[in-house]
């Protein structure tokens, strides 16, 4: 049984504790922040050579912060909700004093002068940054590889991809580096690596987790969100990330408050699964899903079907999904990276270059059409969810493949349309702006983790988390579906990933 499914106080190593459990033990004086930090550092030092997930770190600063946390506890200070908890930070946002490279050779020597707003919020709640987690160059792509830090491998099989773009964050969680990590998601960058690594990744509704770095403010394709080893821990982290901040144009702030109660995410309500109307889809009617993924999904659905009040095969009408996503993604990449591609073509990788090229191939009329199609797409999704409470699907189109493959060029013998086409199971809901979560659900026929995706009504983030928590508890009791962590002994004994052929190449 994985750490995510364990009852309280059964973990033999503090590094395997969940966030809620570790926090409770600290309050009860059964665990110190220093002990937890030391355990997490030991885990990194024992296995990161095999997976390359935590690519920048200052463990002296971590231990210093842990000591300060323990002193606050000894004084009886009011403690933050995340007091003393280490967390990993995706290398797309700043931690003061650590590199922020974005996985780009152009920023290989960039040192952050201040904390990103998300990191500042986590620190204010008592959490301690453990270090930076790896991601593809500018988070472009579903394989965590770049020419600054190299590749990050799947901890369940180090010859395979951990997906991306929040791949380092998912691997860090799976290996027990920290109970919480940050991630971001455009076409599945939270959800895909969570699925590949057997962890939890939650993409919230646009604006729930505010950010001030959108290159195009009013296209809500990208958002940050929590990653954890359990839904409850993800909810706890979301309660801190869901802030009232007008810098994000999609974050509604009225009289200093948001319409959603952030504290409710930290104490998820029970949800009666037998009251739910559940739609089930293998492919949203358009995604190129691999046969073995379909097979495992059917197996999972068969086991879960009796839990629901009503469950049928159904999907929203996703007409033009591939075109909408490719055009809007292209616009975002041209706006952010076009100048870099022009000025430094040799220092920009193939995924970013291709997205800029594709973006520039679209006319103004193409963009107008895509925006209009997205509006109709959104309306169809709202009509669909008048009849259904949640939609359940596989999280990713494929099982993890060899990490040397930058992206799948074919799925079951059929060519893919682009380097991101295999992310279609995730961007189906991105286009409509609905909250979505991936939770572990057993292992496919390749022996690799399988992620179950749960999509809810727009702005029903609390409902999605509550349903996911109920399903997570049920899955933990089904032998054929129960998740478990990677083989740590095998990782400790594995050769250094940096010595593998192709480690730094794209």
Burial of 8 (0-12, 13-18, 19+ CB in 10 A): exposed
**Longest CA–CA separation in the chain, Å:** 64
3-state secondary structure of 133: strand
> What amino acid positions are annotated as catalytic residues?
90, 165, 189
Element (DSSP H or E) covering residue 35: helix 33-51
3-state DSSP assignment of residue 79: coil
Asked if residue 200 lies in contact with residue 229, where contact means CB atoms within 8 angstroms, the answer is yes
Angle, vertex CA 229, rays to CA 237 and CA 396, nearest 5: 105
Of 396, 271, 378, 276, which is closest to residue 319 (Cα–Cα)? 378
Q: For the chain, what is the radius of gyration of the CA atoms?
A: 21
Residue 479 burial (10 A CB sphere; 0-12, 13-18, 19+): exposed
Q: What is the distance between the alpha carbons of residues 153 and 450, in angstroms, rounded to a whole number?
A: 16
In the three-class reduction of DSSP (H, G, I as helix; E, B as strand; rest coil), residue 56 is classed as strand
Torsion, Cα of 500, 93, 226, 291 (10° steps): -40
């Amino acid at each position: 049984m994985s750490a995510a499914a364990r009852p309280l106080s059964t973990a033999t190593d503090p590094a395997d504790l969940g966030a809620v459990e570790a926090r409770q033990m600290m309050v009860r004086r059964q665990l110190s922040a220093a002990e937890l930090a030391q355990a997490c550092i030991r885990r990194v030092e024992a296995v990161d050579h095999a997976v390359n997930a935590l690519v920048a770190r200052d463990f002296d600063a971590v231990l210093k912060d842990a000591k300060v946390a323990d002193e606050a506890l000894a004084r009886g200070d009011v403690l933050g909700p995340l007091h003393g908890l280490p967390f990993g930070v995706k290398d797309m946002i700043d931690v003061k004093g650590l590199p922020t490279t974005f996985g780009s050779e152009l920023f290989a020597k960039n040192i952050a002068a201040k904390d990103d707003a998300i990191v500042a919020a986590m620190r204010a709640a008592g959490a301690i940054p453990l270090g930076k987690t790896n991601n593809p160059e500018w988070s472009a792509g579903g394989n965590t590889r770049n020419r600054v830090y190299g590749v990050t491998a799947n901890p369940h099989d180090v010859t395979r991809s951990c997906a991306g773009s929040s791949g380092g964050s998912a691997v860090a969680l799976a290996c027990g580096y920290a109970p919480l990590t940050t991630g971001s998601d455009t076409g599945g960058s939270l959800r895909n690596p969570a699925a590949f690594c057997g962890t939890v990744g939650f993409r919230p509704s646009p604006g729930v987790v505010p950010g001030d770095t959108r290159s195009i403010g009013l296209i809500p394709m990208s958002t940050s969100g929590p990653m954890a080893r359990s839904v409850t821990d993800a909810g706890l982290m979301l309660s801190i990330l869901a802030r009232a901040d007008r810098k994000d144009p999609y974050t509604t702030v009225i009289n200093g408050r948001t319409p959603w109660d952030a504290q409710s995410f930290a104490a998820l309500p029970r949800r009666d699964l037998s009251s739910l109307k559940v739609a089930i889809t293998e492919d949203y009617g358009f995604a190129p899903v691999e046969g073995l993924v379909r097979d495992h999904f059917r197996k999972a659905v068969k086991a879960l079907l009796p839990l629901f009040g009503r469950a049928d095969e159904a999907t929203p009408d996703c007409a033009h999904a591939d075109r909408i996503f490719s055009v809007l993604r292209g616009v975002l990449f041209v706006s952010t990276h076009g100048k870099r591609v022009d000025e430094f073509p040799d220092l920009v990788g193939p995924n970013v270059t291709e997205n800029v090229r594709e973006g520039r191939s679209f006319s103004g009329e193409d963009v107008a059409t895509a925006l209009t199609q997205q509006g109709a797409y959104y309306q169809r999704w709202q009509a669909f969810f008048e009849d259904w409470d949640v939609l359940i699907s596989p999280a990713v189109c494929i099982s993890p493949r060899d990490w040397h493959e930058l992206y799948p060029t074919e799925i079951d013998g059929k060519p893919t349309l682009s380097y991101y086409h295999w992310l279609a199971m995730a961007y189906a809901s991105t286009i409509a702006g609905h909250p979505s979560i991936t939770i572990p659900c057993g292992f496919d026929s390749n022996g690799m983790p399988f992620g179950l995706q749960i999509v809810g009504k727009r702005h029903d983030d609390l409902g999605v988390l509550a349903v996911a928590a109920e399903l997570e508890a049920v899955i933990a009791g089904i032998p054929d579906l129960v998740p478990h962590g990677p083989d740590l002994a095998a990782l400790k004994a594995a050769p250094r990933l940096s010595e593998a052929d192709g480690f730094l190449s794209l």
